[in-house]
Homo-oligomer: A and B are copies of this chain.
Amino acid sequence: MDMDMGTEAAWPAGRFCLALHGGAGTIVCPEVEQAAWHAALQSALEAGRAVLAADGSAQAAVVATVQALEDCPLFNAGRGAVYDESGSFSLDACVMEGAHKRAGAIAGAPDVANPVLLAQAVLEEGFSVLLGGAGAQAFARAQGFAAMPAEYFATAQRYAQWQAVRGGQAASELDHDAAARLAQPLREDGKLGTVGAVARDRAGNLAAATSTGGMTNKRLGRIGDSPLVGAGCYAENGVAAISCTGTGEHFIRSVLAHQVACRMRFGGQDLSSACAAALAEMQALGGQGGLIAIDAAGRISLPFTTRGMYRAWLREGEMGGTGIF
């Protein structure tokens, strides 16, 4: 478990706080490339900071932050998403605000440039919480979201990853050896890059957002934790906002984001203890990953069980920072 980056102290009410992640995993990031990643993380952080510094809401800030991460081809969300088993893209996202616990999410949207904006449109419409597949696509068109061509999302790197995974999986597909596949769920080429953000605004409201292209070569129709309220995304004023990344199935079974909030709300645990305990429980199920969390007092926790997690954080009046390992 990684250190919490010295953010266990509370932060004065009325000042905003923000954190983001760009995925966790067995990160292999050569030193010469690290500067580009830090710059991308910093740039997304600035998108959220700009919203909060203009008295914007926590919801608007996490959406702006995730939108910036989706627009960056380095991360597996929006542009730069991984290929699914059909060679297409299948995008999941969720937004939740903590004041009224309103939420919107989409699963398996094939062609929206910014899945987090579509999820926010579901939230704002207020009729459904989660729309899947063709329904998400129909809603996108009805709301005026353009259908982006596959070339918008495609990157040479993701294509190479997809081909590599397909080569590796052929044997286990043939003998239906699910255990063998489960034994390596966080291969560097298969699972990196879910993105997310959590924020507390000047009014004290909390919000969380998560967005992902899922797993490389993922099975048709597979829905991971990212678009599921309580699993990969959760926000509740007075408690915490949480966004997760990792082996989605284990996060779903652990109801991980909500578990962190419940450990605090009902068990009186502090933020970092709650995060560590929930992650340890998920790890005991065989999973790996990390999360970012902000509590009502402005504490920030960024723990992960993997070699690294792309992440960044700031609090109003502080420099903030970015991290990979």
Contact = CB atoms under 8 A, between A and B. Distances in A.
A148 to B, nearest CB: 19
A46 B9 CA distance: 56
B267 A255 contact: no
Interface stretch (A189-197, A220-228, A288-296, A312-320): A220-228
Nearest first, the 5 A-B pairs at minimum CB distance are A135-B221, A266-B267, A262-B262, A230-B255, A135-B220
Q: Which of A137, A178, A252, A267 has the most CB of B within 10 A?
A: A252
A253 B266 contact: no
Interface stretch (A22-30, A72-80, A125-133, A204-212): A125-133
A132 B103 contact: no
A108 interface: yes
Contacts of A127: 178, 181-182, 219, 249
A258 B285 contact: no
User: Chain A at the B interface: mostly helix, strand, loop or mixed?
Assistant: mixed
B253 A258 contact: no
A6 B219 CA distance: 46
A130 B223 contact: yes
A219 B258 contact: no
Contacts of A138: 220-221
Interface in A116-136: 125-136
Nearest to A108: B132
B223 A126 contact: no
A231 interface: yes
A220 B134 CA distance: 7
Interface of A: 96, 100-103, 107-108, 125-139, 178-179, 181-182, 219-224, 228-231, 234, 248-249, 252-255, 258-259, 262-263, 265-267, 269, 285
Nearest to A225: B129
A219 B137 CA distance: 12
A267 B267 CA distance: 5
Contacts of A219: 127-128, 131, 135, 139
A195 to B, nearest CB: 20
25 contacts: A107-B132, A108-B132, A126-B179, A126-B182, A129-B252, A130-B223, A130-B228, A131-B222, A132-B132, A132-B223, A133-B134, A133-B221, A134-B220, A229-B253, A229-B255, A230-B258, A255-B255, A255-B258, A259-B262, A262-B263, A263-B266, A265-B267, A266-B267, A266-B269, A267-B267
Contact of A231 (B125, B178, B229): B229
Contacts of A96: 253
B255 A234 contact: yes
Contacts of A181: 127
Contacts of A267: 265-267
Given A127-B181, A135-B221, A229-B255, 11 more contacts: A103-B253, A125-B178, A129-B248, A129-B252, A130-B228, A131-B219, A135-B219, A228-B228, A230-B231, A230-B255, A262-B263
A308 to B, nearest CB: 25
A228 B42 CA distance: 35
Contacts of A102: 253
